């Protein structure tokens, strides 16, 4: 994981900012891509055999999406915890839309989970890199409650697949 700490990390009374790689070092081999493609094609053939052509199309689209997502390169995330909220690149998550946060320092890499007051995608996870957990926790506690977050089954599956 790419941690640019020294010259790209900013700490002051108004904001904490850092740059970190979008996700961990999940290197996907050619075998991973072939496995996804094989499973998608097998699911499409079997569902076509049973006359479920809509699911066959869905299986092919899902397989293609996973393969293309796996080939996508990593991006840098510019994180800033400010007086207004948490900003990830150009997306601001204001504190009044935030239900709670959880700093999981047992996760590798340490991760900040933010639970939002919305129905779809209610939790975002942000790798905190080399940012001090105590400094970040102290800053966030001024604006939001800390509440332990247990990752969902879907989150665990996406991590296991390296997505």
The domain spanning residue 100 has which CATH number? 2.30.29
* Confidence (pLDDT) at 70: 75
Print the domain residue range for 116. Answer: 3-24+75-161
Claim to verify: residue 104 and residue 146 sit in the same structural domain: yes
User: What whole-number distance in Å separates Cα of residue 91 and Cα of residue 74?
Assistant: 18
Task: Express each pLDDT in 47-89 by its tens digit.
Answer: 999 999 999 999 999 999 888 877 776 778 888 999 999 999 8
Claim to verify: residue 63 and residue 139 sit in the same structural domain: no
Query: Pairing between strand 15-21 and 10-11?
Result: antiparallel
* Confidence (pLDDT) at 24: 56
Q: Cβ distance 110 to 104 under 8 Å?
A: yes
Q: Which two tokens stand for residue 62?
A: 């899902």
Claim to verify: residue 99 and residue 124 sit in the same structural domain: yes
Claim to verify: residue 59 and residue 79 sit in the same structural domain: no
Strand partners, 103: 112
- DSSP string of 74-125? P-EEEEEEESSEEEETTEEEEGGGEEEEEEESSSSS-EEEEEESSSSS-EEE
Q: Which two tokens stand for residue 36?
A: 């996804």
Claim to verify: residue 43 and residue 106 sit in the same structural domain: no
* Confidence (pLDDT) at 5: 39
Claim to verify: residue 104 and residue 92 sit in the same structural domain: yes
Claim to verify: residue 17 and residue 83 sit in the same structural domain: yes
* Confidence (pLDDT) at 11: 52
User: What whole-number distance in Å separates Cα of residue 52 and Cα of residue 79?
Assistant: 45
Claim to verify: residue 13 and residue 34 sit in the same structural domain: no
For residue 35, how many C-alpha atoms fall within 13 Å in the half-sphere facing its CB?
7
**What's the domain count of the chain?**
2
Q: Give the full edge-to-edge strand order of the sheet including 123-127.
A: 123-127, 111-116, 98-104, 145-146
Strand partners, 38: none
Claim to verify: residue 83 and residue 19 sit in the same structural domain: yes
Claim to verify: residue 94 and residue 118 sit in the same structural domain: yes
Claim to verify: residue 46 and residue 112 sit in the same structural domain: no
User: What whole-number distance in Å separates Cα of residue 152 and Cα of residue 69?
Assistant: 21
Claim to verify: residue 83 and residue 119 sit in the same structural domain: yes
Give me the tens of pLDDT residue by residue for the chain, a chain 163 residues long: 334 333 344 555 678 888 887 765 566 778 888 888 999 999 999 999 999 999 999 999 999 988 887 777 677 888 899 999 999 988 999 999 988 998 887 777 788 899 988 877 788 888 888 888 888 999 999 998 898 887 778 777 777 766 6
Closest CA to 111 of 148, 74, 71, 143: 148
């Amino acid at each position: 994981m790419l941690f640019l700490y020294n010259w790209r990390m900013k700490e002051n009374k108004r904001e904490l900012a850092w740059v970190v790689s979008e996700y961990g070092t999940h290197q996907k081999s050619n075998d991973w891509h072939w496995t996804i493609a094989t499973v998608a094609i097998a699911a499409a053939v079997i569902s076509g055999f049973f006359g479920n052509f809509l699911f066959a199309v869905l299986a092919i689209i899902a397989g293609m999406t996973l393969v293309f997502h796996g080939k996508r390169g990593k991006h840098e995330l510019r994180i800033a915890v400010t007086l207004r909220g948490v900003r990830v690149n150009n997306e601001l998550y204001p504190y009044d839309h935030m239900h709670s946060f959880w700093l999981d320092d047992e996760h590798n890499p340490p991760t900040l989970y933010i639970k939002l007051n919305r129905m779809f995608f209610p939790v975002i996870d942000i790798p905190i890199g080399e940012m001090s957990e105590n400094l970040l926790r102290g800053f966030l506690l001024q604006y939001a409650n800390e509440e332990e977050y247990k990752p969902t089954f879907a989150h665990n599956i996406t991590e296991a697949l390296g997505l």
